[in-house]
Amino acid sequence: MFDHCAFNGDADGLCALQQLRLAGELSAGVRLISGVKRDIALLQRVQAGEGERVTVLDISLDQNRADVARLLAAGARVRYFDHHFAGELPEQPTFEPFIDTAADVCTSLLVDRYLAGRHYRWAVAAAFGDGMAGPARALAAKHGLGEEDVRALEELGLLLNYNAYGESLDDLHFDPLQLAEELLPYADPLDFVRHSPSFARLRAGHAADMAQAASLEPWHSGDGASLYRLPAAPWARRVSGVLANQLAARDPRRALGLLSVRSDGDWTFSLRVPASAGLEADAFCRGFETGGGRKRAAGINHLPAAALERFAGQFLDSYPHPVP
């Protein structure tokens, strides 16, 4: 069976892919498809039919529905691991879903569950990278990982996630396809941390970019939410995801929104909300044509510049109070 694998280029997608490859769940000649974090219509680039299998990692079924139907109709088998809003699932026997939208689950944790923990350290790193410190630490504790190793996996997850953010591949330190090949020889992610020049490059790039972000102040703020607007610079596009997680962790009772300018002058939006927020992040973002995500973290790929002030008011009105 010839394998295709479409994966989100962030920490969760990369670590899910790494687990499956290490476990022999994908053929050695698998065709990989990925892109920047917000490039989620990846199945448009997959052509597969009878005798072929498509594995999908960490991209919304709801936003790839037509292409899933096309691949199934062509006779391909589709195996789907994801934690984003999915909507109605296909019922064909050639569709194999591993989808869980619970707020404390990411795709790599689903793959870890599927593999019965065979490569759990990669799942720990992914959960940290996806802003899920609690589930990451719970999995680490289950396997008796020491605090030094946990901290190293936390940094790895953060840096893999950081690498995925940008408007185009030119913004990134590594194309996710290249980074997937860099990771492949390492059964243990801690060896990648200790020995890979690529890890050192990501660490240095992240430190330099975050130093530039240190002086940012909210553009608009209310009792229950803060909205930041980043400048039009590659460093700002690269830090948007990591910075959103960091700012949300710093003020966990309030919603956090982050606006990043696009090359066409319009904007993208990242959202983080507290666990008990009255309006979940994906529900807010799905109110916009290019929005989607999960319960606590979501985004919108295209906001017109002319509507930005109105959007800011809508965002603050949607989260009027801090959570208890």
**Number of Cβ atoms within 10 Å of the Cβ of 143:** 12
Per-residue pLDDT band for 123 (boundaries 50, 70, 90) equals: very high
Domain boundaries, the chain: 2-204, 220-318
pTM, whole model, 2 decimals? 0.87
> 164: helix, coil or strand?
coil
Q: What tens digit of pLDDT does each residue of 233-246 get?
A: 999 999 988 899 88
Backbone angles phi, psi at 112, to 5 degrees: -60, -40
Fold designation for 220-318: Diaminopimelate Epimerase; Chain A, domain 1 (3.10.310)
pLDDT at 224: 97
pLDDT at 294: 86
Output the CA–CA distances (angstroms, integers) from residue 101 to 41, 81, 215, in the order listed. 19, 11, 35
Q: What tens digit of pLDDT does each residue of 179-224 get?
A: 999 999 999 999 999 999 999 999 999 999 999 999 899 999 999 9
Number of residues in the chain: 324
Rounded Cα gap, residues 212 and 192, in angstroms: 27
Q: What tens digit of pLDDT does each residue of 24-65 get?
A: 999 999 999 999 998 889 999 999 999 999 999 999 999 999
Rounded Cα gap, residues 299 and 288, in angstroms: 10
CATH architecture type of domain 2-204? Alpha-Beta Complex (3.90)
